[in-house]
Amino acid sequence: MKPDIHPTYEPVVFQDRSTGNRFLTRSTATSDQRVEWSDGNSYPLIVVDVTSYSHPFWTGNQRVLDSQGRVEKFRRRYGDRKRGGE
């Protein structure tokens, strides 16, 4: 590896925005926010939208999409229009 061209690879804490769960890992990502960890050290804190704590694949919770009423909503908005040549 060439010296002085790679970002530093240091311990950081990632926090799930929706659940608040945190985990310590190593990353090249940086942040100005810092958090005190249970070992007494302070680490950069990176808040992310989705982690394994909140992702439906890992939690087993499926998000229900509201598919009922979409056709009716479309028909209310646009009516039962016929195609141009018909």
Global confidence as pTM: 0.62
Question: Count of CB atoms within 10 A of residue 4's CB?
Answer: 4
Residue ranges covered by each domain of the chain: 1-59
DSSP 36: E
pLDDT recorded at residue 62: 65
Which tens digits make up the pLDDT trace of 15-66? 998 888 999 999 999 999 999 999 999 999 999 888 877 776 666 676 555 5
Task: Give yes or no for a contact between 38 and 24, defined as CB atoms under 8 angstroms apart.
Answer: no
pLDDT recorded at residue 65: 57
Angstrom distance (rounded) from CA 11 to CA 55 = 23
